[in-house]
Structure 1
Amino acid sequence: MTRHPTEHPQFYLTAPAACPYLEGKQERKVFTHLIGKHAPTLNDVLTHGGFRRSQNIAYRPACEDCRACVSVRVCVAEFKWTKSLKRQWKLGQDILGARLPTSPSSEQYDLFKSYLATRHENGGMTDMSVLDYAMMIEDTHVDTMVLEYRSKGPDSFITGIGQGPLLGVALTDQLCDGLSMVYSFYDPDFDGIGLGTYMILDHIVRAQKLGLPYVYLGYWVDGSPKMTYKVRFKPQEHLGPDGWAKVD
Protein backbone atom coordinates (compact mmCIF):
# COMPACT_ATOMS: atom_id res chain seq x y z
CA MET A 1 0.00 0.00 0.00
CA THR A 2 1.40 3.37 -1.03
CA ARG A 3 0.99 6.09 1.57
CA HIS A 4 0.65 9.79 0.89
CA PRO A 5 4.13 11.36 1.07
CA THR A 6 3.05 13.95 3.64
CA GLU A 7 2.77 11.19 6.24
CA HIS A 8 6.59 11.07 6.16
CA PRO A 9 7.67 14.64 5.32
CA GLN A 10 11.12 15.25 3.97
CA PHE A 11 13.12 18.19 5.28
CA TYR A 12 15.59 20.32 3.37
CA LEU A 13 18.21 22.92 4.32
CA THR A 14 18.64 26.22 2.49
CA ALA A 15 22.00 27.70 1.54
CA PRO A 16 23.32 30.56 3.73
CA ALA A 17 21.90 34.01 2.96
CA ALA A 18 22.06 37.45 4.53
CA CYS A 19 19.91 37.72 7.66
CA PRO A 20 17.08 40.25 7.24
CA TYR A 21 17.02 41.06 10.97
CA LEU A 22 20.59 41.15 12.27
CA GLU A 23 23.26 42.96 10.29
CA GLY A 24 26.33 40.91 9.46
CA LYS A 25 24.64 37.60 10.21
CA GLN A 26 23.91 34.72 7.84
CA GLU A 27 20.70 32.71 8.03
CA ARG A 28 19.79 29.18 7.05
CA LYS A 29 16.38 27.53 7.21
CA VAL A 30 15.12 23.99 7.39
CA PHE A 31 11.85 23.50 5.54
CA THR A 32 9.30 20.97 4.33
CA HIS A 33 6.15 20.98 2.22
CA LEU A 34 2.61 21.26 3.60
CA ILE A 35 0.47 19.51 1.02
CA GLY A 36 -2.26 16.91 0.91
CA LYS A 37 -4.81 15.71 3.42
CA HIS A 38 -2.31 15.50 6.28
CA ALA A 39 -1.17 19.13 5.89
CA PRO A 40 -3.38 20.57 8.70
CA THR A 41 -2.11 18.02 11.24
CA LEU A 42 1.48 18.49 10.12
CA ASN A 43 1.09 22.27 10.34
CA ASP A 44 -0.13 21.92 13.93
CA VAL A 45 2.78 19.69 14.92
CA LEU A 46 5.41 21.82 13.23
CA THR A 47 4.04 25.11 14.59
CA HIS A 48 4.26 23.62 18.09
CA GLY A 49 7.89 22.88 17.24
CA GLY A 50 8.70 26.45 16.21
CA PHE A 51 8.01 26.33 12.48
CA ARG A 52 6.24 29.06 10.52
CA ARG A 53 4.16 28.71 7.36
CA SER A 54 4.65 30.50 4.05
CA GLN A 55 2.24 29.28 1.35
CA ASN A 56 2.67 25.48 1.32
CA ILE A 57 6.08 25.58 3.03
CA ALA A 58 6.80 25.18 6.75
CA TYR A 59 10.19 26.51 7.84
CA ARG A 60 12.26 27.39 10.87
CA PRO A 61 15.72 28.92 11.40
CA ALA A 62 18.66 26.53 11.36
CA CYS A 63 21.54 28.98 11.77
CA GLU A 64 24.86 27.46 12.85
CA ASP A 65 26.08 30.18 15.22
CA CYS A 66 22.96 32.14 16.20
CA ARG A 67 19.84 31.40 18.27
CA ALA A 68 18.35 34.91 18.26
CA CYS A 69 15.05 33.84 16.64
CA VAL A 70 12.64 32.68 19.35
CA SER A 71 9.13 31.37 18.70
CA VAL A 72 6.53 33.33 20.68
CA ARG A 73 2.93 32.60 21.59
CA VAL A 74 0.57 34.67 23.78
CA CYS A 75 -1.24 32.93 26.65
CA VAL A 76 -4.79 34.00 25.88
CA ALA A 77 -6.64 33.03 29.07
CA GLU A 78 -4.19 34.95 31.27
CA PHE A 79 -3.68 37.89 28.94
CA LYS A 80 -2.91 41.13 30.78
CA TRP A 81 -4.62 44.26 29.54
CA THR A 82 -2.20 47.06 30.37
CA LYS A 83 -3.45 50.65 30.35
CA SER A 84 -1.73 51.22 27.03
CA LEU A 85 -3.29 48.15 25.41
CA LYS A 86 -6.74 49.00 26.82
CA ARG A 87 -6.41 52.45 25.27
CA GLN A 88 -5.44 50.97 21.90
CA TRP A 89 -8.38 48.56 22.02
CA LYS A 90 -10.83 51.32 22.90
CA LEU A 91 -9.55 53.52 20.08
CA GLY A 92 -10.22 50.69 17.65
CA GLN A 93 -13.83 49.99 18.58
CA ASP A 94 -15.04 51.61 15.36
CA ILE A 95 -12.99 49.08 13.36
CA LEU A 96 -14.37 45.66 12.51
CA GLY A 97 -12.44 42.59 11.40
CA ALA A 98 -14.42 40.32 9.09
CA ARG A 99 -13.45 36.71 8.48
CA LEU A 100 -13.41 35.97 4.75
CA PRO A 101 -12.36 33.09 2.48
CA THR A 102 -8.76 33.04 1.27
CA SER A 103 -9.43 35.04 -1.89
CA PRO A 104 -7.06 37.86 -2.87
CA SER A 105 -8.29 41.20 -4.21
CA SER A 106 -6.77 44.19 -5.97
CA GLU A 107 -7.67 46.32 -2.94
CA GLN A 108 -5.67 44.02 -0.69
CA TYR A 109 -2.71 44.07 -3.06
CA ASP A 110 -2.68 47.88 -3.26
CA LEU A 111 -2.66 48.12 0.55
CA PHE A 112 0.04 45.42 0.72
CA LYS A 113 2.32 47.37 -1.63
CA SER A 114 1.71 50.64 0.22
CA TYR A 115 2.57 48.97 3.53
CA LEU A 116 5.78 47.46 2.20
CA ALA A 117 6.89 50.73 0.61
CA THR A 118 6.52 52.53 3.93
CA ARG A 119 7.51 49.92 6.52
CA HIS A 120 9.74 47.42 4.68
CA GLU A 121 11.23 49.34 1.77
CA ASN A 122 14.28 47.10 1.47
CA GLY A 123 12.57 43.85 2.42
CA GLY A 124 12.48 40.71 0.36
CA MET A 125 8.74 41.03 -0.41
CA THR A 126 8.82 44.44 -2.12
CA ASP A 127 9.07 42.93 -5.61
CA MET A 128 6.06 40.64 -5.21
CA SER A 129 3.70 40.79 -8.18
CA VAL A 130 -0.08 40.46 -8.11
CA LEU A 131 0.37 36.76 -8.90
CA ASP A 132 2.90 36.37 -6.07
CA TYR A 133 0.46 37.99 -3.65
CA ALA A 134 -2.39 35.78 -4.86
CA MET A 135 -0.24 32.71 -4.25
CA MET A 136 0.59 33.90 -0.72
CA ILE A 137 -3.12 34.06 0.06
CA GLU A 138 -4.47 31.09 -1.90
CA ASP A 139 -1.68 28.52 -1.82
CA THR A 140 -2.59 26.68 1.35
CA HIS A 141 -3.64 23.16 2.31
CA VAL A 142 -4.43 24.08 5.94
CA ASP A 143 -7.27 25.82 7.79
CA THR A 144 -6.58 29.42 6.80
CA MET A 145 -8.62 32.60 6.93
CA VAL A 146 -8.32 36.19 5.76
CA LEU A 147 -9.42 38.93 8.14
CA GLU A 148 -10.20 42.28 6.55
CA TYR A 149 -10.38 45.34 8.82
CA ARG A 150 -12.58 48.29 7.92
CA SER A 151 -14.48 51.00 9.77
CA LYS A 152 -17.91 49.96 11.02
CA GLY A 153 -20.87 51.06 8.92
CA PRO A 154 -24.59 51.45 9.69
CA ASP A 155 -25.29 47.86 8.56
CA SER A 156 -22.26 46.21 10.16
CA PHE A 157 -24.23 44.89 13.14
CA ILE A 158 -26.25 42.85 10.61
CA THR A 159 -23.63 41.92 8.02
CA GLY A 160 -20.63 41.57 10.34
CA ILE A 161 -18.58 43.40 7.72
CA GLY A 162 -17.13 46.89 7.90
CA GLN A 163 -17.49 49.56 5.26
CA GLY A 164 -15.21 52.11 3.69
CA PRO A 165 -11.57 51.74 2.67
CA LEU A 166 -9.58 48.67 3.61
CA LEU A 167 -7.46 49.43 6.70
CA GLY A 168 -5.73 46.13 7.42
CA VAL A 169 -5.48 42.48 6.44
CA ALA A 170 -4.38 39.42 8.42
CA LEU A 171 -3.67 36.00 6.96
CA THR A 172 -4.22 33.58 9.85
CA ASP A 173 -4.12 29.82 10.37
CA GLN A 174 -6.44 28.16 12.86
CA LEU A 175 -4.61 25.44 14.76
CA CYS A 176 -5.86 22.87 17.26
CA ASP A 177 -4.67 25.10 20.12
CA GLY A 178 -4.64 28.62 18.76
CA LEU A 179 -4.50 31.18 15.99
CA SER A 180 -1.24 31.62 14.12
CA MET A 181 -0.75 35.04 12.52
CA VAL A 182 1.01 34.11 9.28
CA TYR A 183 1.26 37.64 7.87
CA SER A 184 -0.48 40.96 8.42
CA PHE A 185 -0.30 44.44 6.93
CA TYR A 186 -2.20 47.69 7.31
CA ASP A 187 -2.62 51.29 6.16
CA PRO A 188 0.62 53.01 7.21
CA ASP A 189 -0.99 56.44 7.02
CA PHE A 190 -3.98 55.70 9.26
CA ASP A 191 -3.95 58.11 12.23
CA GLY A 192 -5.07 57.77 15.79
CA ILE A 193 -4.49 54.08 16.45
CA GLY A 194 -1.73 51.51 16.11
CA LEU A 195 -3.42 49.18 13.64
CA GLY A 196 -0.78 46.48 14.04
CA THR A 197 -1.35 46.37 17.80
CA TYR A 198 -5.11 46.44 17.37
CA MET A 199 -5.04 43.48 14.97
CA ILE A 200 -3.05 41.38 17.45
CA LEU A 201 -5.48 42.30 20.23
CA ASP A 202 -8.36 41.33 17.96
CA HIS A 203 -6.78 37.91 17.44
CA ILE A 204 -6.39 37.48 21.21
CA VAL A 205 -10.07 38.27 21.74
CA ARG A 206 -11.06 35.93 18.89
CA ALA A 207 -8.98 33.12 20.39
CA GLN A 208 -10.65 33.69 23.77
CA LYS A 209 -14.10 33.41 22.19
CA LEU A 210 -13.09 30.23 20.36
CA GLY A 211 -11.69 28.69 23.54
CA LEU A 212 -8.19 28.49 22.07
CA PRO A 213 -5.30 28.94 24.52
CA TYR A 214 -2.72 30.65 22.28
CA VAL A 215 -2.04 33.25 19.62
CA TYR A 216 1.19 32.50 17.78
CA LEU A 217 3.13 35.62 16.78
CA GLY A 218 6.03 34.01 14.94
CA TYR A 219 9.59 34.89 15.87
CA TRP A 220 10.87 37.45 18.32
CA VAL A 221 14.45 38.30 17.35
CA ASP A 222 16.61 39.46 20.22
CA GLY A 223 18.49 42.55 19.04
CA SER A 224 16.13 43.44 16.18
CA PRO A 225 14.13 46.69 16.68
CA LYS A 226 11.56 45.41 14.17
CA MET A 227 10.49 42.70 16.62
CA THR A 228 10.34 44.55 19.94
CA TYR A 229 6.57 45.09 19.71
CA LYS A 230 5.90 41.38 20.27
CA VAL A 231 7.00 41.46 23.91
CA ARG A 232 4.11 43.81 24.80
CA PHE A 233 1.58 40.98 24.81
CA LYS A 234 1.94 39.09 28.09
CA PRO A 235 2.09 36.56 29.51
CA GLN A 236 3.64 34.67 26.67
CA GLU A 237 5.60 31.50 26.14
CA HIS A 238 8.95 31.21 24.35
CA LEU A 239 10.17 28.01 22.77
CA GLY A 240 13.58 26.92 24.04
CA PRO A 241 15.69 23.75 24.11
CA ASP A 242 13.44 22.30 26.85
CA GLY A 243 10.16 23.22 25.21
CA TRP A 244 7.73 26.10 25.73
CA ALA A 245 8.35 28.17 28.87
CA LYS A 246 6.27 31.05 30.22
CA VAL A 247 7.75 34.56 30.15
CA ASP A 248 5.80 37.18 32.13
Structure 2
Amino acid sequence: MTSYLSLDFYLSSPHSCGYLPGQTATNLFVDPEVAMDIAHYSTLARLGFRRSGRLVYRPHCSHCSACLPVRIPVAQFQPNRSQQRAWKINQDLSAIYRPVEFRAEHFDLFYRYLKVRHVKGGMDNSTPEDYLSFIASDWDETSLIEFRDAKDQLLAVAVIDALTDGISAVYSFFDPILKRRSLGVYIILWEINEAKELNLPYVYLGYWIKACQKMQYKSTFRPLEVYQDKKWSIFEET
Protein backbone atom coordinates (compact mmCIF):
# COMPACT_ATOMS: atom_id res chain seq x y z
CA MET A 1 0.00 0.00 0.00
CA THR A 2 1.11 3.57 -0.72
CA SER A 3 -0.54 6.99 -0.27
CA TYR A 4 -0.64 10.32 -2.08
CA LEU A 5 -3.36 12.82 -2.98
CA SER A 6 -4.80 11.83 0.41
CA LEU A 7 -5.75 8.48 -1.13
CA ASP A 8 -4.54 4.96 -0.42
CA PHE A 9 -3.28 2.84 -3.32
CA TYR A 10 -2.79 -0.92 -3.54
CA LEU A 11 -0.87 -3.16 -5.91
CA SER A 12 -2.74 -6.05 -7.45
CA SER A 13 -1.43 -9.59 -7.59
CA PRO A 14 0.33 -10.53 -10.85
CA HIS A 15 -2.09 -11.67 -13.55
CA SER A 16 -2.07 -12.43 -17.26
CA CYS A 17 -1.63 -9.30 -19.34
CA GLY A 18 -4.75 -8.51 -21.36
CA TYR A 19 -2.73 -6.75 -24.06
CA LEU A 20 0.54 -8.67 -24.57
CA PRO A 21 0.27 -12.47 -24.84
CA GLY A 22 2.54 -14.40 -22.53
CA GLN A 23 3.19 -11.43 -20.27
CA THR A 24 2.16 -10.90 -16.67
CA ALA A 25 0.90 -7.59 -15.34
CA THR A 26 0.14 -5.76 -12.11
CA ASN A 27 -2.05 -2.72 -11.52
CA LEU A 28 -1.88 0.11 -9.03
CA PHE A 29 -5.42 0.84 -7.92
CA VAL A 30 -7.17 3.28 -5.63
CA ASP A 31 -8.63 1.88 -2.42
CA PRO A 32 -12.12 0.83 -3.61
CA GLU A 33 -13.60 1.89 -0.27
CA VAL A 34 -12.57 5.53 -0.75
CA ALA A 35 -15.24 8.15 -1.50
CA MET A 36 -14.24 8.90 -5.10
CA ASP A 37 -15.64 11.91 -6.98
CA ILE A 38 -15.13 13.67 -10.32
CA ALA A 39 -12.52 16.08 -8.96
CA HIS A 40 -10.34 13.28 -7.58
CA TYR A 41 -10.84 11.15 -10.68
CA SER A 42 -9.94 14.04 -13.00
CA THR A 43 -6.70 14.58 -11.09
CA LEU A 44 -5.94 10.87 -11.32
CA ALA A 45 -6.71 10.83 -15.07
CA ARG A 46 -4.09 13.53 -15.51
CA LEU A 47 -1.67 11.13 -13.79
CA GLY A 48 -2.45 8.30 -16.19
CA PHE A 49 -5.20 6.48 -14.28
CA ARG A 50 -8.28 4.88 -15.83
CA ARG A 51 -11.62 3.50 -14.68
CA SER A 52 -13.09 0.01 -15.06
CA GLY A 53 -16.42 -0.13 -13.30
CA ARG A 54 -15.93 1.72 -10.03
CA LEU A 55 -12.27 0.65 -9.80
CA VAL A 56 -9.66 3.31 -10.67
CA TYR A 57 -6.32 1.86 -11.71
CA ARG A 58 -3.08 2.32 -13.63
CA PRO A 59 -0.74 -0.37 -15.02
CA HIS A 60 2.26 -0.74 -12.74
CA CYS A 61 4.57 -3.50 -13.96
CA SER A 62 8.11 -3.68 -12.63
CA HIS A 63 9.42 -5.31 -15.82
CA CYS A 64 7.45 -3.38 -18.44
CA SER A 65 6.37 0.19 -19.26
CA ALA A 66 4.55 -0.51 -22.53
CA CYS A 67 1.18 0.95 -21.44
CA LEU A 68 1.25 4.67 -22.23
CA PRO A 69 -1.67 6.93 -21.26
CA VAL A 70 -2.73 9.07 -24.24
CA ARG A 71 -5.10 11.98 -24.80
CA ILE A 72 -6.13 14.23 -27.70
CA PRO A 73 -5.75 18.02 -27.35
CA VAL A 74 -8.97 18.83 -29.17
CA ALA A 75 -8.15 22.43 -30.17
CA GLN A 76 -5.11 21.26 -32.16
CA PHE A 77 -6.59 18.08 -33.62
CA GLN A 78 -6.45 17.74 -37.42
CA PRO A 79 -8.28 14.77 -38.99
CA ASN A 80 -6.49 12.83 -41.68
CA ARG A 81 -8.20 11.82 -44.92
CA SER A 82 -9.44 8.51 -43.58
CA GLN A 83 -10.93 10.20 -40.54
CA GLN A 84 -12.56 12.83 -42.73
CA ARG A 85 -14.21 10.05 -44.73
CA ALA A 86 -15.44 8.35 -41.56
CA TRP A 87 -16.93 11.63 -40.35
CA LYS A 88 -18.66 12.30 -43.65
CA ILE A 89 -20.12 8.83 -44.16
CA ASN A 90 -21.71 8.85 -40.70
CA GLN A 91 -23.42 12.22 -40.87
CA ASP A 92 -26.75 10.42 -41.10
CA LEU A 93 -26.37 9.20 -37.51
CA SER A 94 -28.07 10.78 -34.52
CA ALA A 95 -26.31 10.86 -31.14
CA ILE A 96 -28.57 10.46 -28.11
CA TYR A 97 -27.49 10.75 -24.48
CA ARG A 98 -28.82 7.99 -22.22
CA PRO A 99 -28.34 7.36 -18.50
CA VAL A 100 -26.25 4.39 -17.44
CA GLU A 101 -28.73 1.59 -17.00
CA PHE A 102 -29.23 -1.85 -18.46
CA ARG A 103 -30.90 -1.93 -21.87
CA ALA A 104 -31.32 -5.25 -23.64
CA GLU A 105 -30.74 -3.58 -27.00
CA HIS A 106 -27.38 -2.23 -25.82
CA PHE A 107 -26.32 -5.55 -24.34
CA ASP A 108 -27.20 -7.44 -27.51
CA LEU A 109 -24.98 -5.08 -29.53
CA PHE A 110 -22.20 -5.33 -26.92
CA TYR A 111 -22.34 -9.12 -27.02
CA ARG A 112 -22.25 -9.29 -30.84
CA TYR A 113 -19.36 -6.83 -30.94
CA LEU A 114 -17.26 -8.87 -28.51
CA LYS A 115 -17.96 -12.15 -30.32
CA VAL A 116 -16.54 -10.71 -33.55
CA ARG A 117 -13.93 -8.16 -32.47
CA HIS A 118 -12.61 -9.61 -29.19
CA VAL A 119 -12.88 -13.38 -29.37
CA LYS A 120 -11.30 -15.01 -26.29
CA GLY A 121 -10.53 -11.56 -24.94
CA GLY A 122 -11.90 -12.41 -21.50
CA MET A 123 -15.15 -10.48 -21.91
CA ASP A 124 -16.84 -12.33 -24.78
CA ASN A 125 -18.93 -14.45 -22.40
CA SER A 126 -20.09 -11.49 -20.32
CA THR A 127 -23.43 -11.66 -18.54
CA PRO A 128 -25.72 -8.64 -18.21
CA GLU A 129 -24.37 -8.20 -14.68
CA ASP A 130 -20.77 -8.28 -15.96
CA TYR A 131 -21.62 -5.71 -18.61
CA LEU A 132 -23.25 -3.25 -16.23
CA SER A 133 -20.53 -3.56 -13.58
CA PHE A 134 -17.92 -2.88 -16.30
CA ILE A 135 -19.45 0.32 -17.71
CA ALA A 136 -20.99 1.85 -14.58
CA SER A 137 -19.70 3.53 -11.46
CA ASP A 138 -21.62 4.98 -8.56
CA TRP A 139 -19.59 8.18 -8.28
CA ASP A 140 -18.95 9.60 -11.76
CA GLU A 141 -21.08 11.40 -14.33
CA THR A 142 -21.16 8.66 -16.93
CA SER A 143 -23.32 8.71 -20.04
CA LEU A 144 -24.18 6.22 -22.76
CA ILE A 145 -24.30 7.78 -26.20
CA GLU A 146 -26.47 5.94 -28.71
CA PHE A 147 -25.74 6.33 -32.41
CA ARG A 148 -28.80 5.57 -34.55
CA ASP A 149 -29.40 5.75 -38.28
CA ALA A 150 -32.35 7.30 -40.09
CA LYS A 151 -34.35 4.09 -39.59
CA ASP A 152 -33.76 4.31 -35.83
CA GLN A 153 -31.47 1.29 -35.88
CA LEU A 154 -28.89 1.23 -33.08
CA LEU A 155 -25.45 1.04 -34.69
CA ALA A 156 -23.10 2.00 -31.84
CA VAL A 157 -22.85 2.97 -28.18
CA ALA A 158 -20.11 5.03 -26.53
CA VAL A 159 -19.51 5.06 -22.78
CA ILE A 160 -18.05 8.39 -21.67
CA ASP A 161 -17.10 9.91 -18.31
CA ALA A 162 -17.16 13.59 -17.47
CA LEU A 163 -13.84 15.02 -16.31
CA THR A 164 -13.10 18.57 -15.20
CA ASP A 165 -10.76 19.00 -18.18
CA GLY A 166 -12.27 16.72 -20.78
CA ILE A 167 -14.09 13.57 -21.76
CA SER A 168 -12.82 10.13 -20.86
CA ALA A 169 -13.60 7.58 -23.58
CA VAL A 170 -14.32 4.61 -21.33
CA TYR A 171 -15.44 2.15 -24.00
CA SER A 172 -17.38 1.85 -27.23
CA PHE A 173 -19.04 -0.98 -29.11
CA PHE A 174 -20.72 -1.09 -32.48
CA ASP A 175 -22.17 -3.30 -35.18
CA PRO A 176 -19.14 -5.32 -36.31
CA ILE A 177 -20.65 -5.99 -39.73
CA LEU A 178 -20.67 -2.33 -40.80
CA LYS A 179 -16.95 -2.06 -41.52
CA ARG A 180 -17.41 0.56 -44.24
CA ARG A 181 -18.67 3.10 -41.70
CA SER A 182 -15.50 2.93 -39.53
CA LEU A 183 -17.72 3.40 -36.49
CA GLY A 184 -14.89 3.13 -33.96
CA VAL A 185 -13.09 6.03 -35.63
CA TYR A 186 -16.29 8.02 -35.95
CA ILE A 187 -17.08 7.68 -32.25
CA ILE A 188 -13.73 9.22 -31.29
CA LEU A 189 -14.29 12.03 -33.80
CA TRP A 190 -17.69 12.64 -32.24
CA GLU A 191 -16.12 12.74 -28.77
CA ILE A 192 -13.56 15.28 -29.99
CA ASN A 193 -16.31 17.44 -31.44
CA GLU A 194 -18.39 17.11 -28.28
CA ALA A 195 -15.44 18.17 -26.13
CA LYS A 196 -15.04 21.26 -28.33
CA GLU A 197 -18.74 22.08 -27.94
CA LEU A 198 -18.37 21.79 -24.16
CA ASN A 199 -15.16 23.89 -24.13
CA LEU A 200 -13.19 20.97 -22.73
CA PRO A 201 -9.55 20.68 -23.83
CA TYR A 202 -8.98 16.91 -23.92
CA VAL A 203 -10.35 13.52 -24.88
CA TYR A 204 -8.66 10.82 -22.82
CA LEU A 205 -8.26 7.56 -24.77
CA GLY A 206 -6.80 5.29 -22.11
CA TYR A 207 -3.63 3.37 -22.96
CA TRP A 208 -1.61 2.86 -26.12
CA ILE A 209 0.80 -0.04 -26.53
CA LYS A 210 3.13 -0.12 -29.51
CA ALA A 211 3.15 -3.93 -29.75
CA CYS A 212 -0.64 -4.26 -29.50
CA GLN A 213 -2.16 -4.13 -32.98
CA LYS A 214 -5.68 -3.47 -31.69
CA MET A 215 -4.49 -0.18 -30.16
CA GLN A 216 -2.77 1.21 -33.23
CA TYR A 217 -5.83 3.24 -34.26
CA LYS A 218 -5.21 5.60 -31.33
CA SER A 219 -1.89 6.78 -32.76
CA THR A 220 -3.65 7.98 -35.94
CA PHE A 221 -5.31 10.84 -34.05
CA ARG A 222 -2.83 13.70 -34.23
CA PRO A 223 -1.57 15.56 -32.42
CA LEU A 224 -1.68 13.07 -29.57
CA GLU A 225 -0.25 13.60 -26.11
CA VAL A 226 1.37 10.85 -24.06
CA TYR A 227 2.03 10.74 -20.31
CA GLN A 228 5.63 9.73 -19.65
CA ASP A 229 8.16 10.67 -16.99
CA LYS A 230 5.39 12.33 -14.96
CA LYS A 231 4.44 14.82 -17.68
CA TRP A 232 2.31 15.09 -20.83
CA SER A 233 4.10 15.72 -24.11
CA ILE A 234 3.39 15.41 -27.83
CA PHE A 235 3.53 11.80 -28.91
CA GLU A 236 6.29 10.90 -31.36
CA GLU A 237 6.11 7.27 -32.42
CA THR A 238 9.50 5.63 -32.94
**Which interval holds the TM-score relative to the shorter structure?**
over 0.9
**Are 1:68 and 1:222, in contact at CA under 8 Å, matched by a contact in 2?**
yes
State whether residues 72 and 219 of structure 1, in contact with CA within 8 Å, keep that contact through their aligned partners in structure 2: yes
Structure 2 counterpart of 1:227, from 208, 211, 215? 215
CA contact (8 A) 2:136 2:142 kept: no
Match of 1:125 in 2: 123
1:207 counterpart residue number: 195
* Residue 33 of structure 1: how far off its partner (Å): 4.3
Q: TM-score, normalised by structure 1?
A: 0.89
Match of 1:84? 82
After superposition, what is the alpha-carbon deviation per residue over 1:147-200, rounded to whole angstroms, capped at 9, x for unaligned?
Answer: 011113xxxxxxxxxx52211111100101110011111110124210000000
Tell me, what secondary structure is at the counterpart of 1:11?
strand
Is the counterpart of residue 75 in structure 1 residue 63 in structure 2?
no
1:190 aligned residue: 178
Distance in 1, Cα, partners of 2:135 & 2:79: 31
Is residue 166 of structure 2 the alignment partner of residue 178 of structure 1?
yes
Residue 166 of structure 2 is aligned to residue 168 of structure 1 = no
Q: CA deviation at 1:128?
A: 1.6
TM-score, normalisation: structure 2: 0.92
1:102 partner letter? V
The 1:117–1:240 alpha-carbon spacing in structure 2 relative to 1, beyond 3 Å, is same
Go from structure 1 to structure 2 and tell me whether the alpha carbon gap of 1:202 and 1:53 turns closer, same or farther (over 3 Å shift): same
Alignment identity in percent? Answer: 39
The 1-side partners of 2:15 and 2:33 are apart by 26
RMSD: 1.7
SS of the residue corresponding to residue 58 of structure 2 reads strand
Q: 1:26 to 1:99 in 2, by over 3 A?
A: same
8 Å contact from structure 1 (residues 207, 213) kept in 2: yes
* In 2: Cα distance, 1:34 partner to 1:203 partner: 28
Q: Residues 119 and 188 of structure 1 are in contact (CA less than 8 Å); yes or no, is this contact kept in structure 2?
A: yes
Q: Which runs of 5+ in 1 are unaligned?
A: 1-6, 153-162
The 1:77/1:244 distance shift into structure 2, 3 A limit, reads same
